[in-house]
Amino acid sequence: MRNAIAALLLAASLIAATGMAPANADLHKDLGKNLTENYIRPATVHFSNAAAALTGALEFLCREPDSKRESFVHSRFNTLVNSWFRIQFLRFGPMVEDNRFERIFFWPDPRGVTLRQVQDVLSGYDRTAINPDQLAEKSVALQGLLALEYALYGTGAEGIVAGSPEGRYRCAYALAVSQRLTAVAAELAEAWSSDGSFAYQFMFPGPDNDLYRNDEEVAAEAIKAMVTGLTFVSDAIITPFVAKEPENANHKRAPFWRSGLTIPAIRNAMDGLHSFYTETGFAEALDETDTWIDGGLQLELRNVATSLERIDMPLEEAVMPGPGRETLIYVVIALKSLHTTIEGRLAQAVGVAVGFNALDGD
Amino acid sequence: MHSTAIDRRTFLVLAAAAGVAPQALAAGNSAVYLAARKRGANFEVAVIDEAGRDRLVVPLETRGHSFAVTRSGRRAIAFARQPGRFAVAFDLDGNSKPQAFAAAADRHFFGHGVFADDDRLLIATENDYEGGRGVTGVYDVAAGMRRIGEFSSGGLDPHEVVMLPDGETMCVANGGVLTHPDFGKRALNLPTMAPTLAYVDIRTGAIVETVALAPELHKLAFHHLAVDGSGTVWFGAQYHGPTADRPPLVGRHMRGRQPELFAGPDDVLRALSNYIGSVAVDRSGTIVATSSPVGGIVAYWDAATGRSLGTTELRDSCGVAPGTDRPFRVTSGYGQVVETGPTGETIRTGAANDAVAWDNHLRLVPRP
């Protein structure tokens, strides 16, 4: 009896000392497996397929340029960008190896590196820029979605359909970029496939697993990915072009303004995050007293999605004072609120709260 | 415009808190500690004594980071944390009103600085974010912290700066990360980041030695520094590559030699979680402590050999400074102030206060 009391006291003092309630073991059971099989794997495969499809469409266009083929390329590009935004928040493991995130999406780019470098490539004739293997050795800003967007939609892109020498070279560069993206996307899909060593580590945490020792470490990674993704959308994508003051708003500071894909990209980012959150199963595992957390998150996520649907005007107009701008500002506020709830209340409720210094240190 | 607005806000915060200083107890000649902290919803600097009691509290408009302290230990500068733009000069005994000053236009502080030239100059690590380069701002102390110039820091992202025992050379830890305050602390150049340690002659601003690691470690950002009893610079790094890489995070450098990295045992390296938040050397100058709030651990190293000596586990532990009863005093984001060392045994200093989150750094201020 005395031992039992001593054990209880010890347990109580351990909780007091760490400030952390013991995590419910069932809470995160199979979390990595569920996330991989139900969200990450299909989403990375979709991205990989979309890249391969664009490469096919570009080969077709470059061989015999015409406007029908160009429309087809544009529609494939659209699919690729949207599928990217459904996985951009998975910024751990394979996404950070070999600078894959930056190779795909070199953003934010406040110094305009992509524009400068791509214009430089397109202004002359650089054989090494149209060879995907040699392109891989160049600046990552030349290899990603934004470089490809400029080639397909930027000044001089009409040369592609016209079939001028500049246009043919430009198409060849676009094709090389698309081939690079296809290769990188395939590496990502491979890493998350059933043969992928990273997927295995994420799916099966354990004492012998060097990367994830237990389910809590997987849960912490999932929470961090969501929080990082939300901050990226609000701070790195929306805020810079909407700006605090309307006179500083500039739609050209948005990624994908040339192709008109900015708002669809944000919609897909949010939709992806929502689906990922659903697949964590945190909602079902919360204690009754914590179910309001899920209720609040669901409500806010739905409101953001509905609001984004309402932005149907051109981006140039959406940033000016009026309903578009108001909606974008609301979205930023809602994303910050989602961020705070996930990082604070949800993380605590699922037993993976992070300290003041660990959360945001220098 | 930007700087004036922030400056005015700092002054208002300080003015509103004028009642705090008179309550301060003169610390006399015993050593005190300095730390930034969050108390409730407020950010402040606390001067605490060896028993862990508040001696002086200076309010800040937002999160502080680290300090420059005069040789007499009577005055200090608290810096805003990155990408903050304010600094506050204050008297540790509370004898005069804290005095705030702002970073220059198009510069922000990184949170660290040192006094130089017999305390006549203040040097602060700063970001020239439009120019995309790291600098150290030079301030004339007698002229009320007037900024009289700047030196190149020898790299991007200059974080901690320490003065070498010669009093003429400073060592700057350049993390190598390009940032712009419009994007907070987000790294804008991960594929090409290039961290360095740079030694700068404070009389001329000349970079007299630059140290870089092997190219495959170009994402290992030097961030925090301490000088051991032999004058060797110890560094703690933060890794911006994949978690699985787990490079060594701690090392030392002696002028004119190659840098040495120390990984320690696998379990220690893993626990450090690719992130060192603070580096300190004990009073004897022979033990180095490196904290990782991410891993909730402080790891100790023998300054002579680089051998791993042990660890202390403490959740969200980050601030670390020479101790009074044990080799080190450590603070945490959960309000703990403890004394500990390589054995891992911990004694509490004062009562833990969970309304307080101790921020990144703890500084011992010896009082001659």
Copy the structure tokens of residue B348.
């509490």
**Listed residue (A20, A88, A97, A48) closest to A268, CA to CA:** A88
Give every CB contact of residue B47 below 8 A, 6+ residues apart in sequence: B24, B27, B32, B33, B34, B54, B55, B56, B57, B58, B92
Give the mutation candidate from A106, A357, A360 for the B interface (greatest B CB count, under 10 A): A357
The β-bridge partners of A297 are none
Q: What is the pLDDT of residue B366?
A: 84
* Cα separation, B109 vs A245, whole angstroms: 25
Scan for tokens 């013991």, then name that residue.
A22
Entry pTM:
0.92
Residue B17 has pLDDT above 60, yes or no: no
A chain contacts of residue B223, beta-carbon cutoff 8 Å? 362
Nearest chain B CA: its distance from A159 CA (Å): 32
Q: What is the pLDDT of residue B14?
A: 57
Of the candidates A111, A210, A355, which has its C-beta nearest B333's C-beta? A355
Of the candidates B111, B242, B334, which has its C-beta nearest A355's C-beta? B334
Element (H, E) at A68: helix A67-85
Whether the Cβ atoms of residue B196 and residue B210 lie closer than 8 Å to each other:
yes
**What letter represents residue B14's amino acid?**
L
Whether the Cβ atoms of residue A132 and residue A176 lie closer than 8 Å to each other:
yes
Whether the Cβ atoms of residue B38 and residue B334 lie closer than 8 Å to each other:
no
For residue A227, name the pLDDT band (cuts at 50, 70, 90): very high
Copy the structure tokens of residue B90.
């204050």
Interchain contact B223–A (C-beta under 8 A): yes
SS3 state at B196: strand
The β-bridge partners of B261 are B251
Mean local confidence (pLDDT), B126-143: 97
Phi, psi of A25 (to 5 degrees): -60, -35
Whether the Cβ atoms of residue A46 and residue A83 lie closer than 8 Å to each other:
yes
Nearest chain A CA: its distance from B122 CA (Å): 21
Which residue from A minimizes the CA distance to B219? A99
* Cα separation, B170 vs B223, whole angstroms: 15
Distances from the Cα of A154 to the Cαs of A115, A119, A130, B146, B259, in angstroms? 10, 9, 18, 47, 47
| Cβ-based burial of A17 (10 A; exposed 0-12, middle 13-18, buried ≥19) | middle
Give every CB contact of residue A87 below 8 A, 6+ residues apart in sequence: A40, A43, A44, A47, A95, A188, A272
Interchain contact B315–A (C-beta under 8 A): yes
**What letter represents residue B64's amino acid?**
G
Most confident of A36-40, B71-75, B184-188: A36-40
Scan for tokens 């409500």, then name that residue.
A299
Q: What is the pLDDT of residue A4?
A: 44
Whether the Cβ atoms of residue B303 and residue B264 lie closer than 8 Å to each other:
no
Element (H, E) at A358: helix A356-359
Of the listed ranges A176-190, A275-289, B12-26, B350-364, the one predicted with least confidence:
B12-26
Q: How far is CA A19 from the centre of its chain?
A: 32
Mean local confidence (pLDDT), B176-201: 96
* Cα separation, B114 vs B122, whole angstroms: 6
Residue A3 has pLDDT above 60, yes or no: no
Contact B241 A96 (CB under 8 A): yes
Phi, psi of B240 (to 5 degrees): -100, 10
Distances from the Cα of B193 to the Cαs of A160, B179, B216, B222, B253, in angstroms? 36, 11, 11, 11, 20
- Residue B166: CB atoms within 10 A of its CB come to 11
* Cα separation, A216 vs A221, whole angstroms: 9
Residue B305 has pLDDT above 90, yes or no: yes
pLDDT tens-digit series, residues A4-52: 444 444 443 333 334 444 445 567 889 999 999 999 999 999 999 999 9
Of the candidates B186, B241, B316, which has its C-beta nearest A356's C-beta? B316
The β-bridge partners of B312 are B298
Nearest chain A CA: its distance from B185 CA (Å): 9
A chain contacts of residue B190, beta-carbon cutoff 8 Å? 99, 102
Phi, psi of A196 (to 5 degrees): -75, 135
pLDDT tens-digit series, residues A254-307: 999 999 999 999 999 999 999 999 999 999 999 999 999 999 999 999 999 999
Contact B293 A355 (CB under 8 A): yes
Whether the Cβ atoms of residue A189 and residue A179 lie closer than 8 Å to each other:
no
pLDDT tens-digit series, residues B253-276: 999 999 999 999 999 999 999 999
